[in-house]
Structure 1
Amino acid sequence: MSKNRFYKENFSAFIKENEKFFKTVESKFTHNFLELLKKKNPNIPITSQLKNEIENLYKSLFLEDYSSQNFKLNAIFILKERNVDIEDILNKVFLLLANAFIKYTLKEKNAIAKLKKLTSLFEFYIEYLIFHVNEEEFFTYHLPKELKEYYLTNKVLNLFNVYKGVPITHKTTILTLNEDRGYIEVEANSYQIIAAKFQKEIYLLEPTTNTTFKAYIDYVYPQRKVLKLTNIEKIQRNTPKRNYIRVQPSTDINVKIKKHKDIFTTKMYDISLKGMAVISDEKTVDIGDFVKLEFILEGYFFEMTAEVRSITKLNDSFRFHFYFEPTPSQERILEKYITKREKEIIKELHKYLKAEFIDV
């Protein structure tokens, strides 16, 4: 069973049209799912990892970009292995969502038509999820051919991810490789385990040939210090190079972009001595544009000319990457802020480590 019906019936447009509702009930879905699970299967422990996987399932069904991502079924597989009646729980949790939707659309003229569409969507999801947890052939993801060679030869690779702008690297090997289901498992260090909870994108680098792979962190095994990686693709560019330390701000910082007579307000994503990334709801600039940036950092007003070096398309927004040359006085302020923020982030990592790992 494929996603053809999903696209044929234009479910994505329906979800987009009712995006506000699906965002509103996100936490209710997880809560109801766990409550039903506890009631039906009291012996199954409700771990933070299982809760995260249920949240990921909901996001992939109702909040993410359907054109490029697969539904994240890890929670379903975990429960199937524990002999949970998944269909019964899904029926009940979707029924509760339908009840909330009735209240949400009660005053709309086309409420009945929308409810029918929602019911049809839920029917599709139940059929799709139940079919694919019972159908091994569903897993046809192809791993890059190089990974099998690395696995068989126990090749040492560099594992790279980021926590709030601070890069974390670790030498690793592929512990498990499953070609049918399209995943590998690799060893990570404690810092990467923590970072994986906040940033799902990670990179593998084969240092001899400088071959780089981008992957998605599908599952975290904290005590084993192992990451399960899926959606692995070989990329042309190398692992992101960081000539300067980047840090994410601890609070929201507005950044005004001035392009000719137009002014756009964005949010700072991270900053370094020579550049900055911001998040914008709209694509307001192009690569190669020169713009003016204005923002306040640590009580200081910054105004500088910057070049747009790259643009990253996210699910529902854009990340613009700028390069700039600060004045000597601006550089001193930036250096002081970045050093302070880096220490705060590392301290925060240590705090998470102590809470997560008894032996740290």
Structure 2
Amino acid sequence: MHNFKIYDLLPNGVIVFKNKTILYMNKHILDIMNLTDLAQENAIEIMAETLNIRSVDGLFSFFSANEYFRHNEKVIQIAQNSYDDLELFSFMRINHSLILEPKTIEATESQKKVLAVNIDAKVASFFQLNNIRKIKVLTLYKGLPLKNFGKIIKVTHAFIDVEVDNKHMISLLESKSVLLISNEKDGSSVLKGEVISHENNIFRIKNFFVSKEEMHQREEIRVKPNKQLSINVQSREFKVYDISIKGISIAIESEEDETFLKNKQSIYLLLKNETLTLEVEYLKSIFVEERLVKLIFLIIPDAYGTSIIQHYITSRQQEIIREIHQYLRDCK
């Protein structure tokens, strides 16, 4: 029997799900959503209506797919963790726009780590208990996934040292994020960590959390443009962050940009001197590199548009591969 009442002592909102059904909501989440005077059942219904979700069953999917949402001009940040057969969501209210204020974004990134719960010690115990010495390492460079097995050199409760393939070094030019994928008998574990230092191909990694990203399961190649690539929506231009044959990410600079784009059903993409009309469906907004937010859309190009985009992605992928090879030659 779980004692959920202890969550009322926390300074952040908590919702506990089992089988995608809400078991418990603490007092703070009711306060965040201005629902303190309602019984839990009624509060759940009002919350779904407030978030424009058709039924209460959709709340789990909404919280799983998003890293934040807005309510009464406040930004509510979401973090998710699993415990036994329960899914726990933690919510923290931010007083200013995450997008408009760079300083706020920096603070929010640190808050995200607190919300996600520092599991470095648990990761170390897991590796030691299972005697894991070899692990799959995945990083990204300009959207291209770089995979190889790494050798675990040292495990402590503060950090883990992993010897990686040379090619992973180029990823640090863009991001310090790394995925460690461990395949065990009862399934795979995917951990996202931060490279805090590196020397002689050894990554020192900490600040682990269970990854909600699925870049290790991507079916389509996603690339970052080599030159500025933009879309046009009602005579307004927005920068393309990355693109695949089935999706496109748009970099935004303000909350107003996000509101403007989220409900759009078509965009114009200028590519290879062609203006492509793409049907789109908004998926989610996520944080990238502390100061940047991107909106992710599914795209539905026609046959001609598909061929143009596929040709661009293939060409861009080859350019990135050449960059990686040149980097490796220069490092010798």
Scaled to the shorter chain, the TM-score interval is 0.5 to 0.7
Deviation of the 1:288 alpha carbon = 7.4
- Matching residue of 1:329: 304
The SS at the match of 1:321 is: strand
The SS at the match of 1:66 is: helix
- Matching residue of 2:273: 299
Residues 325 and 157 of structure 1: is their aligned pair in 2 closer, same or farther, counting only changes over 3 Å? same
Supply the distance in 2 between the matched residues of 1:63 and 1:218 (Cα, whole angstroms). 22
Supply the distance in 1 between the matched residues of 2:214 and 2:240 (Cα, whole angstroms). 25
Counterpart amino acid of residue 280 in structure 1: I
The SS at the match of 1:69 is: helix
Supply the distance in 2 between the matched residues of 1:169 and 1:240 (Cα, whole angstroms). 9
- Matching residue of 1:161: 139
For residues 161-180 of structure 1, give each alpha carbon's deviation from its aligned partner in whole angstroms, at most 9, with x where no partner exists: 1111111111224211232x
Deviation of the 1:279 alpha carbon = 0.8
Higher fraction of strand:
2
Supply the distance in 1 between the matched residues of 2:237 and 2:164 (Cα, whole angstroms). 38
Q: How does 1:201-212 map to 2 (within 5 A)?
A: 201-208=177-184, 209-212=187-190
Deviation of the 1:322 alpha carbon = 1.1
Supply the distance in 2 between the matched residues of 1:245 and 1:171 (Cα, whole angstroms). 20
Q: Which of the residues 224, 238, 241 maps onto 1:266?
A: 238
For residues 287-308 of structure 1, give each alpha carbon's deviation from its aligned partner in whole angstroms, at most 9, with x where no partner exists: 9745322121111111111111
- Matching residue of 2:122: 145
For structure 1, list consecutive stretches of 5 or more residues without a partner in the other structure.
1-61, 71-140
Residues 236 and 245 of structure 1: is their aligned pair in 2 closer, same or farther, counting only changes over 3 Å? closer
Contact 2:269 2:275 in 1 (8 A): yes
How many residue pairs get aligned? The number is 220
Supply the distance in 2 between the matched residues of 1:149 and 1:165 (Cα, whole angstroms). 30
Supply the distance in 1 between the matched residues of 2:270 and 2:318 (Cα, whole angstroms). 21
Over aligned residues, Cα RMSD in angstroms? 2.7
For residues 147-192 of structure 1, give each alpha carbon's deviation from its aligned partner in whole angstroms, at most 9, with x where no partner exists: 333246034322111111111111224211232xx21111211111
Residues 250 and 339 of structure 1: is their aligned pair in 2 closer, same or farther, counting only changes over 3 Å? same
**Structure possessing the higher radius of gyration over alpha carbons:** 1
TM-score of the pair, normalised by structure 2: 0.60
TM-score of the pair, normalised by structure 1: 0.55
Counterpart amino acid of residue 164 in structure 1: K
Deviation of the 1:285 alpha carbon = 3.7
Supply the distance in 2 between the matched residues of 1:225 and 1:63 (Cα, whole angstroms). 34
Counterpart amino acid of residue 201 in structure 2: K
- Matching residue of 1:194: 170
The answer to whether the aligner puts 1:349 opposite 2:324 as a matched pair is: yes
Supply the distance in 1 between the matched residues of 2:233 and 2:155 (Cα, whole angstroms). 46
Counterpart amino acid of residue 238 in structure 2: T
- Matching residue of 2:68: none
Residues 246 and 237 of structure 1: is their aligned pair in 2 closer, same or farther, counting only changes over 3 Å? closer
Deviation of the 1:66 alpha carbon = 2.6
The answer to whether the aligner puts 1:231 opposite 2:203 as a matched pair is: no
Higher fraction of helix:
1
- Matching residue of 1:172: 150
- Matching residue of 2:221: 245
Counterpart amino acid of residue 245 in structure 1: I
For structure 2, list consecutive stretches of 5 or more residues without a partner in the other structure.
1-102, 112-117
For residues 71-101 of structure 1, give each alpha carbon's deviation from its aligned partner in whole angstroms, at most 9, with x where no partner exists: xxxxxxxxxxxxxxxxxxxxxxxxxxxxxxx
The SS at the match of 1:246 is: coil
The SS at the match of 1:191 is: helix
- Matching residue of 1:16: none
Supply the distance in 1 between the matched residues of 2:253 and 2:167 (Cα, whole angstroms). 31
Residues 236 and 330 of structure 1: is their aligned pair in 2 closer, same or farther, counting only changes over 3 Å? closer
Contact 1:212 1:239 in 2 (8 A): no
Q: How does 1:1-360 map to 2 (within 5 A)?
A: 65-69=106-110, 142-151=119-128, 153-179=131-157, 182-208=158-184, 209-221=187-199, 224-236=200-212, 238-257=214-233, 264-283=236-255, 284-285=257-258, 289-314=263-288, 315-356=290-331, 358=332
For residues 113-134 of structure 1, give each alpha carbon's deviation from its aligned partner in whole angstroms, at most 9, with x where no partner exists: xxxxxxxxxxxxxxxxxxxxxx
Supply the distance in 2 between the matched residues of 1:255 and 1:319 (Cα, whole angstroms). 13
Structure with more contact order per residue of length (Cα contacts < 8 Å, sep ≥ 6): 2
Residues 236 and 317 of structure 1: is their aligned pair in 2 closer, same or farther, counting only changes over 3 Å? closer
